[in-house]
Amino acid sequence: MAPIRVLQCVAGLDHGGYESLLMNLYRHTDTTLVQFDFLSSFPGVYEAEILARGGVIHRIPFITQKGPFAYTHALNKVLAAHPEYRIVHSHMDKFSGLVMRQARRAGIPVRIAHSHNTQNEGGPAFQLVKNYYGRMVLPNATHLFACSRAAAGWMFGPKAPDAHILPNGVDPARFAPNPAAREAIRAELGLAPQAPVFGHVGRFTPQKNHEQLLDIFAAIAARQPEAILLLAGTGPLQGEMRRKTDALGLQSNVRFLGARQDVPQLLQAMDCFLFPSLHEGLPVTLVEAQAAGLPVLASAAITREVCITPLVQLHSLSDPPEAWAAAALNAAGQSRRSRTSPLEAIAAAGYDIRAAAAWLQRFYLEHWQPRLP
């Protein structure tokens, strides 16, 4: 018997927060029972893996590329050409309203809107469009998912209590501290054994606040000139952040690593994770960092639900860079002296990806409905 196929609707397939979660779920799903296919507008590093696992990728122009009508037309064509899709799972925040409406009109019985954020991105006009489609979520979705209670509240409003919280889980064993891996990745990146290494994983977008991150690191480097900052990710602001790095005179201290699929190894190389985001749903990268036993300095603007262990320190974005730097250097020093992974605490809090994937697989199998003749 062929597996049921679930259409996962995303903006792109690069290394981002919800994309990483979705791929983690996919890797722990029995594809003889449930197969993930993807509706995506932007290419990314995960495409080869998806195809190797038997998934199908439908490429259509994004709403911001050719407008909502072109996106809707392309989406309708995919749904009409593939009657095997009886479950549509959308990860596009408030744009999910458009996906849910068209899936309902196509007669798809299971329509899942999944919230991964707590705030809109973009300028006023873009936010106006997102809010317009956001009003279509509740009338058209059959099921509501969110990565945190804060993300549910933002997207689903009065229906937030009805949302199922699907934790942004990780495979803790992949991130457990490994001295040999730390030595190997540091050698690969040309990092001195004793250099204090700080890091960040995330797309170069306004939400991730790389500008303030570089100011914080400049204060760190002023106190410890041998310090290194690893920045993994791509995005529209990468060029601007490279120019700022040059202006700060930190060219030899900051490494722009681009899109990486070896995040567990990169975390081994770091001594402290810096995360001054302006807002987040529940960042999977911080769950990964904690699984790696890595101290985290994060913005107090993000949800407290991510503070699974005492490894996370929250700091106000209004604090001066020097205050962040002092805390970061202290945390990095402690990490270099002793580093263990709180694997049991992460699993007990519900962030083991195996449990999340097993629940989601059961959900798909129990709710799938065959098309009537």
Residue 343 sits in the same domain as residue 362: no
Q: Does residue 373 form part of some domain? A: no
Residue 212, token pair as written in the block: 């303030």
Please tell me the predicted confidence (pLDDT) of residue 125: 77
Please tell me the predicted confidence (pLDDT) of residue 331: 96
Please tell me the predicted confidence (pLDDT) of residue 332: 96
Residue 171 confidence (pLDDT) above 90: no
Q: What is the pLDDT of residues 256-301, one digit of tens each?
A: 999 888 899 999 999 999 999 998 877 889 999 999 999 999 999 8
Residue 277 sits in the same domain as residue 128: no
Q: Does residue 145 form part of some domain? A: yes
Residue 158 sits in the same domain as residue 51: yes
- Decide which of 79 and 203 is more confident: 79
Give the count of domains, the chain. 2
List the Cα angle 154/158/159 in 5-degree steps: 90
Please tell me the predicted confidence (pLDDT) of residue 356: 93
Residue 332 sits in the same domain as residue 198: yes
- Containing structural domain, residue 312: 172-348
Q: Is residue 124 very low, low, confident or very high in pLDDT (cuts 50, 70, 90)?
A: confident
CATH number at residue 142: 3.40.50.2000
Are 342 and 290 in contact by the 8 Å Cβ rule? The answer is yes
Residue 81 confidence (pLDDT) above 90: yes
Residue 104 sits in the same domain as residue 202: no
Please tell me the predicted confidence (pLDDT) of residue 218: 98
Q: What is the CA radius of gyration of the chain?
A: 21
**Range with lowest mean pLDDT among 40-49, 79-88, 114-123:** 114-123
Residue 48, token pair as written in the block: 């080869």
**Range with lowest mean pLDDT among 3-7, 119-123, 133-137, 145-149:** 119-123
Amino acid occupying residue 240: E
Q: What is the pLDDT of residues 309-324, one digit of tens each?
A: 999 999 999 999 999 9
Q: Does residue 328 form part of some domain? A: yes
Q: What mean pLDDT comes out for the span 235-262?
A: 95
For residue 89, the cross-strand partners are: 8, 112
Q: Does residue 312 form part of some domain? A: yes
H or E, element range at 39: strand 34-40
Q: Quick check: helix, strand or coil at residue 299?
A: strand
Q: What is the pLDDT of residues 354-369, one digit of tens each?
A: 999 999 999 999 999 9
Q: What is the pLDDT of residues 176-218, one digit of tens each?
A: 888 999 999 999 999 998 899 999 999 999 999 999 999 999 9
Place of tokens 């992460």: 346
Residue 16 confidence (pLDDT) above 80: no
CA dist 135 and 236 (Å) reads: 28
Please tell me the predicted confidence (pLDDT) of residue 343: 83
H or E, element range at 241: helix 238-247
Task: Work out the mean pLDDT of the chain and round it to a whole number.
Answer: 93
Residue 271 sits in the same domain as residue 342: yes
Q: What mean pLDDT comes out for the span 84-91?
A: 98
Task: Please state, for a pLDDT cut of 70, what percent of the chain lies above it.
Answer: 100
Q: Does residue 112 form part of some domain? A: yes
Q: What helix, strand, coil percent values describe the chain, rounded to 5?
A: 45, 15, 35
Place of tokens 């209004």: 318
Please tell me the predicted confidence (pLDDT) of residue 270: 97
**Strand extents, DSSP E, 135-290:** 143-146, 164-165, 197-201, 228-232, 254-258, 272-275
CA dist 204 and 210 (Å) reads: 7
Q: Does residue 188 form part of some domain? A: yes
Residue 100 sits in the same domain as residue 218: no
Please tell me the predicted confidence (pLDDT) of residue 354: 93
Residue 217 sits in the same domain as residue 356: no
Please tell me the predicted confidence (pLDDT) of residue 1: 83
Q: Each residue of 240-275: b (16+ CB within 10 Å) or e?
A: ebeebbeeeebeebbbbeeeeeebbbbbbbbbbbbb
CA distances from 69 to 65, 73, 201, 208, 316 (A): 11, 6, 34, 30, 41
Residue 214 sits in the same domain as residue 160: no
Residue 129 confidence (pLDDT) above 90: no
Residue 159 sits in the same domain as residue 193: no
CA distances from 220 to 194, 250, 365 (A): 15, 11, 51
Please tell me the predicted confidence (pLDDT) of residue 173: 81
Please tell me the predicted confidence (pLDDT) of residue 290: 94
Q: Does residue 372 form part of some domain? A: no
Residue 56 sits in the same domain as residue 139: yes
Please tell me the predicted confidence (pLDDT) of residue 48: 94
Residue 150 sits in the same domain as residue 188: no
N- to C-terminal Cα separation, the chain: 19
